[in-house]
């Protein structure tokens, strides 16, 4: 979010307004003298992309914050601050108070773009993947905080990565960083999610001059053509095991589940939920969004500049049509998982 171009008259106006908007319970416990996991949280590996072996307990790498790990990182002097010392003092890179964990292809980029319209939310526009197996052993918490966008003390920093939900060690690592962290997870009809991810693969294949692999070949076992294979493409849409693990690590009250299908048709219904969850006033309104006929999706109007912006070409692709037989088969495949998920979350989505 460009703070320079904020519509308020001056930085002192801006700071005055924020004084009354102290978000509650967000990011208040970065330093914990000790931490422990709930007794029933045994890191196990029965899910794809989870790194702990069934036998291994102690192999998980968890980094406990110490020293100045999570202190706000002051910014180098940047253009324009000379005239406004208050800004120079308060702007810093801060650890996130809220993280969007996924699921991939459920609208994670769109949600972050919509949230960025809120004056009290600052979002990171790329994915550090810090808590994921690929990155965590290589980088420390100071590195992570330094990657966050500049923010003021009353703003909440939000970042996202789709691997945070499917790699279960990431849940434990996030908790070790901040047990009062707020988490958001977007879900959408798992069949539509398959089509979205398949569209992404196909676009990549076309980019490299190849003919896209038909969907049926990606999801059907070669040896037994009638059966679905073990592809991630299918498996990720079984959201249940990931929530089951997450709920062993964080309390339900710290987890907001959002509807990626509604995010497309009625984005404000979802941003309002986030505002409530983060105890922020409703400041993302009809004024800040419009339906772009060319894009076929809602897009954003910057409150600071009035500039209109849609997501890029890789978001909002046309999906292939599913033939009725495959659709029915996919519905049968996901139905039991969906049912278990709705029971676990105590929430129902419009997919069965």
Q: Give me the least distance between CB of 90 and ligand A3P, in Å please.
A: 31
90: alpha, beta or left? (left if phi > 0; alpha if psi -120 to 50): alpha
CA 78/CA 59 separation, integer angstroms: 43
Buried b (16+ CB within 10 A) or exposed e, 219-233: bbeeeeeeebeeeeb
Rounded-to-integer distance, Cα 199 and Cα 62, Å: 36
Rounded distance, CA 166 to CA 103, Å? 8
Q: Whose Cβ is closer to ligand A3P: residue 69's or residue 116's?
A: 116
Instruction: Report helix, strand or coil for 65.
Output: coil
Selected binder of ligand A3P within 11, 243, 250, 298 (CB under 6 A): 298
- Considering only residues 306 through 345, tell me which ones interact with ligand A3P, judged by CB under 6 A: 311, 315-317
Among 297, 333, 334, 349, binds ligand A3P (CB under 6 A): 297
Contact set for ligand A3P, span 178-217 (CB under 6 A): 196, 199
Is residue 248 a contact residue for ligand A3P (CB under 6 A)?
no
Give helix 240-249 / helix 168-177 axis angle, nearest 10°: 20
* Residue 219 C-beta: closest distance to ligand A3P, Å: 16
Residue 292: partners with Cβ closer than 8 Å, 6 or more residues away = 298, 299, 308, 310
Q: Which residue's CB is nearer to ligand A3P, number 178 or number 270?
A: 270
Per-residue binding string, ligand A3P, 85-104, x by CB under 6 A, is -------------------x
Query: Are 308 and 298 spatial neighbours (Cβ–Cβ below 8 Å)?
Result: no
The string of DSSP letters for 205-274 reads HHHTTPPPPPHHHHHB-SSSTTSB---HHHHTT--HHHHHHHHHHS-GGGEEEEEHHHHHH-HHHHHHHH
Nearest to ligand A3P of 63, 315 (CB atom): 315
Q: In angstroms, what is the minimal distance from the CB of 42 to ligand A3P? A: 30
User: Which of 27, 72, 95, 107: binder of ligand A3P (CB under 6 A)?
Assistant: 107
Q: Which CB, 144 or 297, lies closer to ligand A3P?
A: 297
- Regarding 237 and contact with ligand A3P (CB under 6 A), the answer is no
Among 106, 145, 194, 268, binds ligand A3P (CB under 6 A): 106
Can you tell me the distance from the alpha carbon of 123 to that of 148, in angstroms, rounded to the nearest whole number? 8
Residue 109 in contact with ligand A3P, rule: CB under 6 A: yes
* Cβ closest to ligand A3P, residue 51 vs residue 202: 202
Report, in Å, the least distance between residue 289 CB and ligand A3P: 9
DSSP state of 62: -
Per CB under 6 A, 263 contacts ligand A3P: yes
Q: What is the contact surface with ligand A3P in residues (CB under 6 A)?
A: 104-110, 196, 199, 263-264, 297-298, 311, 315-317
């Amino acid at each position: 979010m460009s703070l320079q171009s904020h519509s308020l008259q001056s930085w002192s106006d801006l700071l005055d307004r924020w004084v009354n908007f102290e978000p509650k319970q967000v990011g208040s416990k970065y330093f914990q003298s000790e931490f422990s996991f709930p007794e029933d949280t045994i890191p196990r590996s029965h899910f794809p992309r989870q790194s702990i072996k069934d036998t291994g307990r102690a192999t998980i790498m968890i980094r406990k914050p110490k020293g100045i790990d999570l202190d706000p990182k002051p910014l180098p002097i940047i253009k324009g601050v000379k005239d406004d010392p208050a800004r120079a003092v308060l702007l810093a890179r801060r650890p996130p108070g809220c993280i969007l964990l996924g699921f991939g292809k459920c609208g994670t980029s769109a949600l972050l773009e919509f949230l960025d319209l809120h004056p009290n939310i600052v979002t990171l526009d790329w994915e550090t993947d810090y808590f994921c197996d690929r990155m965590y052993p290589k980088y420390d918490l100071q590195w992570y905080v330094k990657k966050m966008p500049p923010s003021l003390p009353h703003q909440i920093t939000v970042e996202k990565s789709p691997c945070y939900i499917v790699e279960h060690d990431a849940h434990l690592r996030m908790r070790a960083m901040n047990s009062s962290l707020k988490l958001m997870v977007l879900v959408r009809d798992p069949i539509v999610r398959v089509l979205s991810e398949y569209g992404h693969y196909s676009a990549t294949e076309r980019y490299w001059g190849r003919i896209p692999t038909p969907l049926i070949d990606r999801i059907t076992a070669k040896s037994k053509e009638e059966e679905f294979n073990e592809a991630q493409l299918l498996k990720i849409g079984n959201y249940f095991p990931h929530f089951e693990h997450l709920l062993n690590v964080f309390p339900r009250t710290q987890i907001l589940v959002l509807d990626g299908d509604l995010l497309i048709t009625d984005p404000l219904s979802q941003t309002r939920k986030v505002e409530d969850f983060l105890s922020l006033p409703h400041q993302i309104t009809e004024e800040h969004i419009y339906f772009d006929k060319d894009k076929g999706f809602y897009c954003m109007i910057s409150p600071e500049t009035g500039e209109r912006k849609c997501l890029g070409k890789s978001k909002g692709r046309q999906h292939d049509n599913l033939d009725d037989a495959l659709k029915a088969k996919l519905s049968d495949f996901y139905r039991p998982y969906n049912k278990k998920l709705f029971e676990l979350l105590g929430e129902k989505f419009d997919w069965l």
